[in-house]
Every structure is written in C-alpha cells, then in structure tokens.
Structure 1
Amino acid sequence: MTDDAPITVAREAGVAVVTLNRPQTRNAFTPELTEAFAEVFPALRDDASLSAVVLTAAPGTFSAGGDMRLLAEPSTDVRRHAAAGETMHAWFRAYLDIPVPVIAAVDGPAFGGGFGLALGADFLLASERARFCTVFPRIGLVAGLGTAWLLPRIVGLAAARDLLLTGRIIGAEEALAMGLVREVVAGDALGERALRMAGHFRHASRGALAGTKELLRQAAGAPFDAAAAREIDLQARALASPDHHAAARELLQTRRVAFDWGRLEEETGKE
C-alpha cells in the first residue's frame, strides 16, 4: 500500500508493521478504513513469511472506533445492520486468526471498535497518552466487535462488567493495573519497544505459536475433552516439525533453548 493509504504495511525481517493512517478522523471505522481492514488482515493471516505483527497508528492516536457520522444516520433496517456486522466480523476474525503474535502499540484513544482491535492483539503496549473506553453503552449499543467475548478473558468478569456497562474511560496506568496492558512505555519509545518485542519471535516456531494461539482461543468455551483432543492433534504436528527437531538438537548440543524470552530480553535490553 502507498504512504497515503488508510492503512500502511511495512515488512522487515519477518515483522509487519501495520499503521492506521487516518489521524484526521482518529482512525474511525469509515468505509475506507473498513475496506482496508478487509484487505490487510486476511493478507497478514496468510503471509507465511511473518514471525510477528505490530499494530499501531500515527503518534498520539489509535482508533476512535465507529464512524459517528454513519452511526447517526437513522435506519430501522435490522437486516442491513446485521449484514454490516457480518462483514465487519469477517475481517475481525481474520485479524484474530493471524497465526503469529500480534503486538498492539496504543499511543492515544482506543475507543469502541478501536478498543476491540487492541483487545484482539496478543500483547498490548501503551504509552502514557493511551486511553481506553468501550463507548457502546454511551450511545445505546450492545458491546461490539468481540469486546464482550474478549474482555472477560483478559481482565476477568467483574472488571469487564465495569468497563462494558459503565462505558467509563480508563488511562494507561489503570489498564496496566487490571492486566489489560502488558507495559506502559514513554510515547517516544513505544514504537521501538514494540519492534524489539516483535523481533524476539524470529527465534520461535511459527507453527507452535499458531497452534498455541488456537488452543487459547478455544480453551475458555470448549469442554475439556474437546480441548484435549485438539491439543493432542496440534502437539503431534509440532512434535513432527523441523522446528521442534532443530530446537531439541540445539538443547542437547549447547544446553541453550532456541526461544528463551529472558535471554533475549537481556541481550536486547527491555528498555
């Protein structure tokens, strides 16, 4: 995509940096932006060259979620609204199905659907300028874009009730305290921190990470026997993979594991 596209994607060393590129609208979900989501997220899901994805936006922004100009247009056509929801969830599911770690770097408001995007990442980094709000109860809507499914799994049911029913705005430090955010980083260092974190995953097995992400998505709702059966299948495939064989040989020969998060943090420096 070009530099003036609604979403830009830059790839380097196996990491795709996805930047929401409409700061003038606070990256609201305009038709232009949602069409770009529908193009970008399936492409990332299917890109076998990637080891990680960073989702970010222009400094001081993330996403305001729904386009209020469209939401304010009166329509009683329930079928039309449902069809629009199906279209939105198609690209959102592609986003959730990206098989490598997704790191969201939030440097501004993540509201409504933008909050859903942040929740859908595997790791959420925030600057001190980040703010989070479900928005939906403020404008008479049911929690949308997967937030009622994702949020309790991240922060617990009580905290999810609080945020989803009150629609109150929380800052980065409160989000960190409730476990929503992994780290709070100075705004001018946020992008670098996200890239450094993404770079660690070049040492990891893509297949193993993809399988683990699938199991995590299914774990909360699946009966144990079904979850165990899927785990057995995915683990058998991982045990038969070249990535596992190479890692096992390295451990035997050098006493070093192929993917050691602590060692990588020491080598690169967390900050």
Structure 2
Amino acid sequence: MSITVTRDGPVAIVAFDRPRAKNAFTMAMRRDFVDAFTALDADRSVRAVVLTGSEGNFCSGADIGEMGDTCPEDFLARMHLLHAMARAVARFRAPVIAAVDGVCIGAAWGFALAADIVLAGEEARFAATFRRIGYAPDAGLAWYFLRTVNPMRAREIVYSGREVRAEEALALGLAMEVLPGDALMDRAMELARDIAEGPATALHLAKRQFAAAPAMSFETFLDFEATMQPLLGQTGDHRDAVTAFREKRPPRFNGG
C-alpha cells in the first residue's frame, strides 16, 4: 500500500508513500487515497488531518508510466478517481493541513490547495507541469488559482509550467507559512492538535461556510449563517464554553 495512514490521538496523518518515484500516485493509490479519507471521515474521533508525503517530497503527480493510449471510458474512469481524490480532501468534514516539502507537481498541487491550510518547507517546489504531457490542468488546480492569485499570474504559471518555489508560493497566497524542512511536520502537527482541541461541529460548519461563500450573494450567505448558529447553540460544546466563561476556566470541547 502506497498511501499510509497513522494516528496521533485525534489527528490523522495521510501520506503519499512511494518515495522511489517521488511519491507519484498510481491508479491503485487513487483508490487507496479515497478509501483512506472516506474511512477517516466516518470516524468521529478524527478531528484534524495532516496530508503529506514521505522522505522529503509531497507528491510528483500522477504516474506518467501509466499514461498512454486508452479508450474514452477508461479515461473517464481515471478522471472520476482523480476527482474523487480532490473531493475527498476538499469535502472532508474536519480541517485538513497540507504539509508540503520537496516536489508538489500537477494534480498533487490541486490536492494541496484543496486542504484548508498549506504549510511549505523551504525546499518545496510547486509546478503545474500539464503542458509537458499535452494536458490542461486537472484536480481543480485552475479553479483554486483563480480564487487565490491574480488571474494573469495564474495563467502564466499554467502556460509556462514553471517551478514556483516556496517563498513565491507564500507571496502569492498559495501557502500560509514557509518553514525549515525539519520543522515542517512539527508545525503541521502543532496546528492540527490545536484544531483537534476545538469544537468539532462548529469548525465543520465554518468549513462549509468557506466552501459555500464564493457562490453566494452576501444576503444569501447571511441567511446561510442564520441556519447554523441556532443549531450550534444547542451543542454541548457551546453550553460548556458559556459555562467555562462564567467559571473562568478553559472550555472542554468533546465534539458534541
């Protein structure tokens, strides 16, 4: 299995684990990736996920060795699995942190941007290299670019297929922090543990707000908000937080 899942209490770590190929993902890995996220999403004890890669690289994209002549039906099946990977990250009920070091190429960049937060190691190298194999971007990459960076810069990155180093990714808003490689996972786990201590239902609904907002008018979004707070007001987490405020103690969030 080239997708590994480990646990640190309420934090799950999902890793591309095929280091000899810089963690390029195969068709089998596409299925394993989706299965891993599906199982974690159903496990309510998981309160945050760190998505990363093994041995100094995030992921070099789809395995080109598996590409070539194929019938339309097979190609559609490949795309269905690729999009299932992107959705598995984007729609995961709890926050996902992408810890990216080394190469993050092609569709893998889309998976990283599908996460809630991207942390980059100093040696991280991002690239939308689709032009090199006669493809347009996939895994939602262009969609994320247009919502994050200047449209002309987004086009230039895609049309050129050039490398984007960590500091440029930070400047463009494609990463939140740049860290030394040996500090990357420590910082990712620090953030994930902090998130995991929070009110799980409230954070899930906050994530839904961020996902829905771009397609809504302001008035529609306010109506959307209004359906959430009354629900959250009935949770045990909210009630304990109010009691904790009165008792001058930290709240004890248990996800209820």
Q: Does TM-score exceed 0.5, indicating one fold?
A: yes
Letter in 2 for 1:51: R
* TM-score normalised by the chain length of structure 2: 0.91
Query: 1:125 is matched with which residue?
Result: 119
Assess, with a 3 A threshold, how the Cα gap between structure 1 residues 79 and 202 changes in structure 2: closer, same or farther: closer
Which one is further off, 139-148 or 226-235? Answer: 226-235
Task: Look up the SS of the partner of 1:28 in the other structure.
Answer: coil
The aligned counterpart of 2:18 is 22
* Residue 256 (structure 1) shift: 6.0
Alignment length (residue pairs): 253
After superposition, the Cα gap between the structure-2 partners of 1:246 and 1:115, relative to the gap in structure 1 and judged at 3 Å, is: same
Cα distance in 1 for residues equivalent to 2:155 and 2:247 = 51
Deviation at 1:240, TM superposition (A): 1.7
Query: CA separation in 1, counterparts of 2:166 and 2:114?
Result: 17
- Give yes or no for contact 1:138–1:167 (8 Å, CA) kept in 2: yes
Residue in 1 aligned with 2:9? 13
Question: What corresponds to 1:74 in structure 2?
Answer: 69
2:212 aligned residue: 218
After superposition, the CA RMSD in angstroms is 1.9
- The one-letter amino acid of 1:55's match is L
Q: Match of 2:81, as an amino acid?
A: T
Q: Tell me, in whole angstroms, the C-alpha distance in 2 between the residues paired with 1:41 and 1:154.
A: 25
1:54 CA displacement: 0.8
Measure, in 1, the Cα distance between the counterparts of 2:181 and 2:115.
19
- Residues 162 and 256 of structure 1, relative CA distance in 2, 3 Å threshold: farther
**Residues 27-46 of structure 1 aligned to structure 2 (within 5 Å):** 27-46=23-42
Partner in structure 2 of residue 198 of structure 1: 192
| Cα distance in structure 2, aligned partners of 1:258 and 1:51 | 14
When residues 251 and 153 of structure 1 are mapped into structure 2, their CA distance, relative to the original with a 3 A threshold, is farther
SS of residue in 1 equivalent to 2:115? coil
Is 1:151 the equivalent of 2:145?
yes
Q: Shift in Å at residue 255 of structure 1?
A: 7.4
Question: Within 2, Cα distance between the matches of 1:205 and 1:164?
Answer: 38
Corresponding residue for 1:91?
85
CA change 1:203–1:151 in 2 (3 A) is same
Aligned-pair distance for 1:225? 4.1
1:247 aligns with one of 241, 251, 256: 241
Deviates more, 1:230-239 or 1:116-125: 230-239
SS in 1 for 2:215: coil
Counterpart amino acid of 2:56?
G
**Which residue number corresponds to residue 115 of structure 1?**
109
Structure 2: give runs of 5+ residues left out of the alignment.
none
**1:104 match: secondary structure:** strand
SS of alignment partner, residue 142 of structure 1: coil
**2-side partners of 1:209 and 1:49: how far apart?**
14
Per the alignment, residue 135 of structure 2 pairs with: 141
2: CA distance, partners of 1:85 / 1:97: 18
**How many Å apart are 1:98 and its aligned residue?**
1.2
Q: 2-side partners of 1:236 and 1:226: how far apart?
A: 17
State how far apart, in whole Å, the 1-side matches of 2:238 and 2:147 are.
29
Alpha-carbon separation, structure 1, partners of 2:152 and 2:39:
36
CA distance in 1, matches of 2:150, 2:194: 28
Corresponding letter in the other structure for 1:213: K
Q: Which amino acid aligns with 1:231?
A: E
Query: Matches of 2:152 and 2:234 in 1, distance apart?
Result: 42
Q: What secondary structure is seen at the aligned counterpart in 2 of 1:164? A: helix
How many percent of aligned residue pairs carry the same amino acid? Answer: 38
1:238 equivalent in alignment to 2:246: no
**TM-score (norm: length of structure 1):** 0.86
Residue 54 of structure 1 aligns with an amino acid whose one-letter code is V
